[in-house]
Amino acid sequence: MSTADEIDRIPNVRRFETFPKDELQAHVMELTHAAYPHDEIYGGYCSLEEHIDCPPELVYRYLADVRCLAEWTYSLRNFAPVDDDGLFVSYDKIGGKTKIFTKVVANAQAMTVDYHCAWDQGQHLWMIYLMRVIPAQLVLDKPGSVVLWTNCRHPFYDQNPRPELAPPDRKVWVGDLWPFFYGGHHVEMQNLKHIHEHRHKNGLRMGPHPERTPAAETILAGEAAR
C-alpha cells in the first residue's frame, strides 16, 4: 500500500491531496480567533518564549548551573547538594519552609536545560521545567538568544501525592498555583532577561554569584537532626 492510500484512511488526517486548500482555509479560520480563553492556552501546558540580548552560549551555561536558580527565580534559595548525582535541595520560599529538590538534565549541543523538581521529596522529580536556548541570529535575524520554556500539567499538580511530607501549617500546594504559572513564569523569564542583559551589557560576570545567605547546608543539617 502506498503512503497516500494508507494515510488517507486515517481519521483526522488532513493533507493537500484529500483536503483541498479552500477546505483547509475554512478549517484554519475556525481555529483562529480574536482571543483565546486562559484555559485553552495555559490549561494543559504553559509555554513562554523570550528574546534575551546575550549570546546563547552564556545563557545556556547560566541556566545549566542549578545554583543560578537562586538568582533568577522568584523564590528558590539556599541551594545545597544532596548527593553526588546532581540532586540539590533548596527552599521554595513561596511555600514557607517548603523544601524543593532539583536536578538539572542539560544537553550542551541542543542547548536544552530541564529542571526535574519536586516539593517535599527528592525521590520522584515530577515537576519538570523544560527549557531551551536558541541562537536568535538563526530564528530572529538578530544577536542574542531565544529562550523557550514549557511546563506540562502533571496530575500531581492537581493532587499532592505525599501530603504528609508538607511542613506543618503549609496551606498552599504548588499545583494550586497552576492557573498563575503563566504570570509567575513571565516574572521569572523577565528576571532571566534583565539579569543577563544588565550583566552582558556592562561586562559583568554572568553568574551565578555566591548566595548571600550563608551555609545552605543547614537545610540538610536540619533534616539530619530531626
Please report, as residue ranges, which positions from 37 to 96 form the binding site for a copy of itself (by CB under 8 A). 37-38, 41, 44-45, 47, 49, 70-71, 73-75, 77, 93-94
Say whether residue 222 binds a copy of itself (CB under 8 A): no
Among 102, 132, 99, 101, CA closest to 115: 102
Does 139 help bind a copy of itself (rule: CB under 8 A)? yes
Contact status, residue 103 vs residue 128, Cβ threshold 8 Å: no
DSSP character for 112? E
Cell digits for 167? 511542613
Choose, by CB under 8 A, the member of 35, 84, 85, 203 that binds a copy of itself.
35
Nearer to a copy of itself, 87 or 130 (CB): 130
Residue 221 interacts with a copy of itself (CB under 8 A)? no
Residues 172-201 that bind a copy of itself (CB under 8 A): 179-180, 182-184, 186-187, 190-191, 194-195, 198
Distance CA 115, CA 123 (A): 14
First to last CA, the chain: 67
In the complex, what is the shortest distance from the CB of residue 43 to a copy of itself, in angstroms, rounded to a whole number?
A: 11
Q: Which of 150, 192, 199 is nearest to 65 (CA)?
A: 192
Instruction: Return the number of the residue (80 or 148) whose C-beta is nearest a copy of itself.
Output: 148
